[in-house]
């Protein structure tokens, strides 16, 4: 049985009655197979699974898509039922931020300033603030996040470490369409032509990841992106797995963000560099 609740009081009551390990999957709704993979892993690892659905205004910039972000709660609850989720917590804005925007928010630090943070000022402060609130409200033992949002996952892991929040953060590999496109709620904004152009992102990452030195990785990926006129690259970056400078040898991460029409998409893959490859 999947219960749907909207208030913190209802959440607290359900949480108090839960036994065993509590697992949380946080989402902004418009659930797809990527979210469902997180729920399945949470179901395997947790005894009581909570999915949160909240489009967090704090993490959207003034010219971003907060107003048009898809809101599909009835279908989302059905997806949660199919994945045997115990509780869906879908608060409204006043329930999450009583009295308006919070005066005290989290600072994402230097890792929050690069890549996504450089293009979306304030995004990670808003994201970490709501994630911290949801961890406190759910008192989860386990929290699952997708690698698709790789910098988000890195920052949440760092926050949990630095603030000594007693939760285990678990990253789940990116779920893709058969043709390689990373699943994302924002894919539904794409026209058929834009969707074709968007394939350049995963294609570029795949070709880049097939190389073994940093220069060739970036050249191979960069060429594919440059050859697709429907894609405007925001960044293409090769880093170490913690988003620091790429090593000459060993595990690395290749990340891309680009606009396809009016839609901003992100993706990333692991890369093995140098002698380790
Ligand atoms: N394709 C995917 N594979 C694995 N996890 C995913 C995928 N897409 C989203 N997630 C994860 O689901 C959680 C909720 O993400 P969110 O609701 O923002 O979905 P989204 O599809 O990433 O949406 P958006 O298009 O707004 O970025 C996050 O931990 C995110 O990383
Ligand atoms: C983690 C999250 C639910 C916080 O609003 C959001 O950033 C997302 O959906 O990835
Ligand atoms: N999926 C990450 C949340 C965001 O883009 O705001």
pLDDT, tens digit (0-9, with 9 covering 90-100), for 214-268: 999 999 999 999 999 999 999 999 999 999 999 999 999 999 999 999 999 999 9
CATH of 185-271, one of 3.40.710.10, 3.40.630.40, 3.30.1300.10, 2.60.40.10: 3.30.1300.10
- Looking at the CA of 146, which ligand is closest? 1
Confirm or deny that 185 is annotated as ligand binding: yes
- Ligand 2, atom 9: nearest CA belongs to which residue? 27
Tell me, in angstroms, the distance from the centre of ligand 1 to residue 276's CA.
30
Ligand 1 in reach of 186 Cβ (< 6 A): yes
Known catalytic residues? Answer: 35
Q: Please name which of 257, 223, 258, 218 lies closest in space to residue 239, comparing C-alpha atoms.
A: 218
Query: What is the average pLDDT score of the chain?
Result: 97
Sign of CA dihedral 101, 107, 111, 115: positive
- Looking at the CA of 71, which ligand is closest? 1
- Checking if the pLDDT of 87 tops 90, the result is yes
Taking residues 98-112, report their average pLDDT: 96
Q: Please name which of 190, 268, 264 lies closest in space to residue 234, comparing C-alpha atoms.
A: 264
Ligand 2 in reach of 130 Cβ (< 6 A): yes
ipTM score over 0.95, yes or no: yes
- pLDDT of res. 275: 82
Tell me, in angstroms, the distance from the centre of ligand 3 to residue 6's CA.
21
Q: What is the C-alpha to C-alpha distance for residues 246 and 141, in angstroms, rounded to an integer?
A: 32
Instruction: Provide the residue ranges of all domains of the chain, joining segments of one domain with +.
Output: 3-172, 185-271
Q: Do domains 3-172 and 185-271 have the same CATH topology?
A: no
Tell me, in angstroms, the distance from the centre of ligand 1 to residue 95's CA.
23
Distance of CA 168 to the CA centre of its chain: 16
Ligand 3 in reach of 174 Cβ (< 6 A): no
Closest ligand 3 atom number to CA of residue 56: 6
pLDDT digits (tens, 9 = 90+) for 256-270: 999 999 999 999 999
**Assigned token pair, 232:** 């405007």
Determine if the pTM surpasses 0.90.
Answer: yes
- pLDDT of res. 276: 80
Tell me, in angstroms, the distance from the centre of ligand 1 to residue 185's CA.
7
Ligand 1 in reach of 182 Cβ (< 6 A): yes
Confirm or deny that 59 is annotated as ligand binding: yes
Confirm or deny that 148 is annotated as ligand binding: yes
Ligand 1 in reach of 35 Cβ (< 6 A): yes
HSE-CB of 142 using CA atoms within 13 angstroms: 20
**Assigned token pair, 29:** 């709704």
Confirm or deny that 96 is annotated as ligand binding: no
Ligand 3 in reach of 59 Cβ (< 6 A): yes
Q: What fold is seen in the domain 3-172?
A: Rossmann fold (3.40.50)
- pLDDT of res. 24: 99
């Amino acid at each position: 049985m999947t219960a749907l609740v909207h208030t913190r009081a209802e959440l607290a009551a359900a949480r108090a009655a839960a036994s065993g390990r509590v697992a949380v999957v946080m989402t902004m709704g418009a659930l797809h197979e990527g979210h469902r993979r997180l729920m399945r892993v949470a179901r395997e690892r947790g005894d009581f699974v909570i999915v949160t659905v909240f489009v967090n205004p704090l993490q959207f910039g003034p010219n971003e898509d907060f107003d048009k972000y898809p809101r599909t709660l009835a279908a989302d609850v059905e997806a949660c039922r199919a994945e045997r989720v115990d509780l869906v917590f879908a608060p409204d804005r006043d329930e999450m931020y009583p009295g308006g925007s919070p005066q005290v928010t989290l600072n994402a630090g230097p890792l929050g300033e690069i890549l996504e943070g450089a293009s979306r000022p304030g995004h990670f402060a808003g994201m970490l603030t709501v994630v911290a609130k949801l961890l406190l409200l759910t008192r989860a033992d386990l929290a699952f996040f997708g690698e698709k949002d790789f910098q988000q996952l890195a920052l949440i892991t760092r926050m949990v470490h630095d603030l000594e929040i007693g939760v285990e953060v678990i990253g789940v590999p990116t779920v893709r369409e058969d043709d390689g496109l990373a699943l994302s709620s924002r894919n539904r904004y794409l026209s058929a032509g834009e969707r074709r152009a968007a394939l350049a992102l995963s294609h570029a990452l795949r070709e880049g990841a097939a190389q073994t030195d940093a220069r060739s990785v970036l050249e191979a990926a960069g060429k594919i992106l440059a050859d697709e006129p429907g894609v405007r690259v925001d960044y293409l970056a090769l880093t170490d797995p913690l988003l620091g400078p790429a090593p000459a040898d060993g595990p690395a991460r290749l990340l891309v963000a680009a606009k396809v029409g009016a839609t901003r998409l992100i993706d990333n893959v692991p890369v093995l560099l140098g002698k380790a490859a």
